[in-house]
Structure 1
Amino acid sequence: MPRAKGIIRIDSDSTHGWQVRVYRHGRTYSRLFSDRKLGGPEPAFDAALAYRETLESEVDQLPPPAPRRRLVHRNRNNSTGVVGISRTTKRDRRGVPHEVYAVSWSPEPGVARGTSFSIRRYGEDTAFRLACKLRWERMKAIYGDRYEVPSYLDLYRQKEAVDTRAVS
């Protein structure tokens, strides 16, 4: 399957084709290239690629893209207060619901990864702390020194140091 920046494959019940999405300063330019209308997946991909190149070459219409991916540490709309971590319910193989902290990250554009930590197994605070730590480690691996230690992780490190001294 061919890969190109800003072009994704759509294969749903009634839609088969390539979708082009280009983002510039808060505005999305999007168009679907149907396999049926264009004679198959390869011609549809070629048309999508040509469309994307045309969009990007029209400097007057589209400002240049941002040089790097934007980093966000906190978002007030997020219920946990930490971007990439949410408190949610997952079902096991038997269909029994369990409360978890879900962690998500994107190792590269267009690729999503994630895991979760059980609140029942680890407890509320520890599950959240493990989720924060994993998110920080993954983001640090992706962005390197550009990704600073978030303030919430500093607070947990201080708390762990106090807890360790209390146990000793």
Structure 2
Amino acid sequence: MWIPPDTYAIARIDLPRAGTHGWQVRIQRRGVKHGKFFADRSYGGVPESYDAARLWRDDLVKRMADEENAVRICRRSPRNSSGVVGVSKVCVVAASGASYWFWQATWCPAPGERRCVKFSVKRHGEKQAFRMAVEARKDGAGL
């Protein structure tokens, strides 16, 4: 029997009594199920139906990744009060008990890495510290 090279999210379905032979693609993301069956008869054989299933799966995975990236960039969390993803206002309390406010920019330059930079409200003023944090976030995140 012919063995396909890549079977991520693709399963072979052979039900001789039902006359069903083909490849089933099944992927679930964020609770939404996606699936499609590719019958050997409709595509001209086992390798051809597999190729069609693989192409459909690859396209689906790419579309899902594009949607996730768009959602991550565009969707604002209800916890975000600054209105800019990755920019927040933080308070640091010194050992003396004094409070210092900063606008902070945070981003991930690579998987597993995190960077942040703070801009003092006392030194730069509220608006300028915020602008500096927004600019740092854009530069650091490559936006």
TM-score (norm 2): 0.48
Greater RCO (CA < 8 Å, at least 6 residues apart): 2
